[in-house]
Structure 1
Amino acid sequence: DPKTGDTIIIDGGDEPERIIAWVDGFEGAGPNWTTGPQHADEASDLPQRKVVALVNTHAHFDHSGFVPVLRSHYGVDWYLHPDDNFLQSLAQSSGRRYGLNLPEPAVADQAFEAGKTYSFGSIELHVLHTPGHTLGGCCLLIPAVDGPDHVFVGDTLFAGSVGRTDIANSGGDFSVLAHSIHSQLWPLPEDTVVHPGHGPLTTIGHERRTNPFVGDDAGAGGTFGFGKYA
């Protein structure tokens, strides 16, 4: 929140030193939804950022592997849907296959509940349970005071694609994923800004009209079993 400095970190799965430097290193620098962090001299009138929570859309290692480091640094609670706890227990061994030296797996402090709205300082976050990529996958909706709302979708939906459903031990199911997107995301306002876990930003309206896997022209069950990114 650029007015209060309250900050939540979503999916802190990689480069924790870079995340910490970005959050702590530029007094008053706030996020710009489309282009990344502003320079400190452009935001000198904004308050110091203060991390109030760590939250995850799902628990694949590239999204959750370094959250324990961030939790140790900031001393705040970590939120995750309980259906993904088992994936977090596999994060270290999964990351090792890609040459990553992840910390020991940890257990989230708080369990996200589907349909519940959480208040983190001045930030309100609404949890949409969207299984299909993983059993506990969630999309995190942050209503905006001015302008469009923002939804952080992890690997559920991408610009022109969807998340994979064939990753081992994840509970992936394309029909479940398609239903999650149709029932939880498509009803959102068309101008809602979509923040995928990989790739460029998009909007709900654009994806609903054009997404070749779950959009209006893809049919009720979609047309494809896994996505372009992850």
Structure 2
Amino acid sequence: MARLPLEDNFTDVIAKAQRGLKISDEQLAERAEVSVEALAAVKAGEVNDVVIRRISRHLKLSANALDDLAHKRFYPVAPVFPRGFVMFNTAFEDMTVNSYLLWDARSRFAAVFDTGANADGLIDMIEAEDLDVRHIFITHTHDDHIAALPALAAACPRAEVWASELEPVDFPGARTFAENAHFHVGNELAIKTLFTWGHSPGMTTFFVTGLSWPVAIVGDSLFASSMGGSPTHYADQLRNNHEKIFTLPRNTVIAPGHGPLTTLALEKQHNPFFAR
């Protein structure tokens, strides 16, 4: 797979924080002691270190991480899984979206996390590896993450479709889970559900153990160097991410809904929303 671009650039991060905190351009410029014109130029993509650092404080963002993002100094390098984990990336309108296939090497039982916009690659891999998909887990029900659900479910007739009780998926026979629900895939893989809502009402992170590294499949809760936007539940989103994702083991691989894989250790250093 070609190197995926980061989901957000530094202007996206600024905009998400500003919307979430409900700070106008005039208010932000006054608090940061910069001109409205200079702020507008940065928001349009001009890399001005002085302005970026001044506004970061008032947006509760890490100045160093935001500056690194603006200068494109950071790109995450996640570990390679020798088996049992495959990421798929498919085009949806003007963006791309991720889905994931995980399996137990001994039993060949498997689980899919989100569907992306097209499940052809997923289905080909399932058939090539002779996998028995028992679960299709949905992080949240935005169209880009469930567009291929009918095709995937038809190709995996033994699979149960699961989504949060806070955000059920509209699909025949779909089931719901509560927070801290536990699932097993074969003898090796254990899955725990964590409600990291904010971007959507029932956004779920699936914490998976039993592979070469622990994995958090986070949907749009978190991206490499950013997170999903939430103009209405921004504080809840930050709190849920802090309490439920950033307390996981540091070597956890972060598998986001958009953009490249990353790790929790890297995000603690390089994500403007969470780095300190």
1:83 to 145, 149, 166: 166
Task: In structure 2, give the amino acid aligned to 1:81.
Answer: S
Is 2:267 the partner of 1:194?
no
Q: Partners in 1 of 2:208 and 2:175 — Cα distance?
A: 19
1:176 to 227, 236, 261: 236
Q: Partners in 1 of 2:206 and 2:230 — Cα distance?
A: 20
The CA deviation at 1:165 is: 1.4
Partner of 2:126: 23
Contact 1:14-1:63 within 8 A present in 2 as well: yes
Partner of 1:224: none
Q: Partners in 1 of 2:198 and 2:210 — Cα distance?
A: 27
Question: How high is the TM-score relative to the length of structure 1?
Answer: 0.69
Question: How high is the TM-score relative to the length of structure 2?
Answer: 0.58
2:195 to 122, 125, 129: 129
CA-based RMSD: 1.7
Counterparts of 1:1-230 in structure 2 under 5 Å?
Answer: 1-24=104-127, 26=128, 28=129, 48-75=130-157, 76-85=159-168, 88-89=169-170, 106-107=171-172, 109-122=174-187, 123-144=189-210, 147-166=212-231, 173-213=233-273, 215-217=274-276
The CA deviation at 1:18 is: 2.5
Kindly tell me: are residues 206 and 72 of structure 1, through their superposed partners in 2, closer, same or farther at Cα, counting changes over 3 Å?
Answer: same
The CA deviation at 1:79 is: 0.3
Q: Partners in 2 of 1:53 and 1:72 — Cα distance?
A: 13
Contact 2:190-2:210 within 8 A present in 1 as well: no
Identity %: 26
The CA deviation at 1:3 is: 2.6
Q: SS of 1:194's equivalent?
A: strand
Contact 2:108-2:186 within 8 A present in 1 as well: no
The CA deviation at 1:8 is: 0.6
Which structure would you say has the larger RCO, counting Cα contacts within 8 Å and 6 or more residues apart?
2
Contact 1:52-1:121 within 8 A present in 2 as well: no
- Higher-Rg member (1/2): 2
Q: SS of 1:127's equivalent?
A: strand
Task: In structure 2, give the amino acid aligned to 1:59.
Answer: T
Q: Partners in 2 of 1:197 and 1:128 — Cα distance?
A: 15
Matched residues, number:
171
The CA deviation at 1:107 is: 4.5
Q: Partners in 2 of 1:68 and 1:10 — Cα distance?
A: 14
Q: Partners in 2 of 1:210 and 1:109 — Cα distance?
A: 37
Q: Partners in 2 of 1:148 and 1:116 — Cα distance?
A: 21
Contact 1:144-1:150 within 8 A present in 2 as well: no
Partner of 2:13: none
Task: In structure 2, give the amino acid aligned to 1:184.
Answer: K
Kindly tell me: are residues 3 and 211 of structure 1, through their superposed partners in 2, closer, same or farther at Cα, counting changes over 3 Å?
Answer: same
The CA deviation at 1:138 is: 0.4
